Structure 1
């Protein structure tokens, strides 16, 4: 059973190990650059932006970067606009770290996982949901 769930991710549907590896490298690089305020844009450097995840297209030509400003320091739209304005400089930093032929095109999107985490916590706090979770599963749908 343990191997079944593992295979689901390495099948053709999910991202390849290479996509995941490149995405994580881009995520770390962008996080470092933003933390060190290496970009020549005072407005961007004033923002505290978390890079939650980077997903690469199968050909590694496009990297979608999921970001969220820390503690509502600025609106997420403003953070994304500032990142997009500095895309070329950010891309240069990324390409310096990557051994790929082409630096991927960077696309910035709001990271919705933060909202989802809050929603999940709220659901778990809900008494009825907790009771349902304590019930043993009647029919296991994993086999479908």
Structure 2
């Protein structure tokens, strides 16, 4: 019997999820307290909705969004400039053998959800729903 291919994208383990949440909480704490001394970051309200970790827990991808979605790229650049300080603070908060390297990415889930809502509210879709 031939083997079935396993999907290449495995769901994250419980440990990845737990460590990701710990990192997310520490990043949110750093941002809300103003511990990161950067004028660009201080001028914006930054939210970290999700942190994903690689299976070996050595790479963390933090998704960030600014209030109103403005200047997100400038905030990401500022976070990257302060990456060394942030990594040190995260290392103290999360007790791991190796402190994960943190990448900052723009969170696009809210934009995607808005796009899907707009599609569902379109006249074409409403017409199909009304037929049923």
Taking structure 1 as the reference length, the TM-score comes to 0.77
Tell me the matched-pair count: 124
Rounded to whole Å, the distance in 1 between the matches of 2:14 and 2:126 is 36
Structure of higher RCO (CA pairs closer than 8 Å, 6+ residues apart): 2
Rounded to whole Å, the distance in 2 between the matches of 1:97 and 1:132 is 52
Match of 2:81 in 1: 85
Q: 1:75 aligns with which of 71, 74, 81?
A: 71
**1:67-121 C-alpha deviation (Å, 9 max, x unpaired):** 111113x422101100000101111221111010111000011101011111122
The 1:26/1:130 distance shift into structure 2, 3 A limit, reads farther
Give 5+ residue unaligned stretches, structure 1: 1-11, 137-144
For the pair 1:45 / 2:59, whether they are aligned, the reply is: no
Rounded to whole Å, the distance in 2 between the matches of 1:113 and 1:86 is 25
Q: 1:15 aligns with which of 4, 12, 15?
A: 12
Give the alignment of 1:1-144 within 5 angstroms.
Answer: 13-72=10-69, 74-130=70-126, 132=128
Query: Alignment RMSD, CA only?
Result: 1.9
More helix by share: 1
The 1:43/1:75 distance shift into structure 2, 3 A limit, reads closer
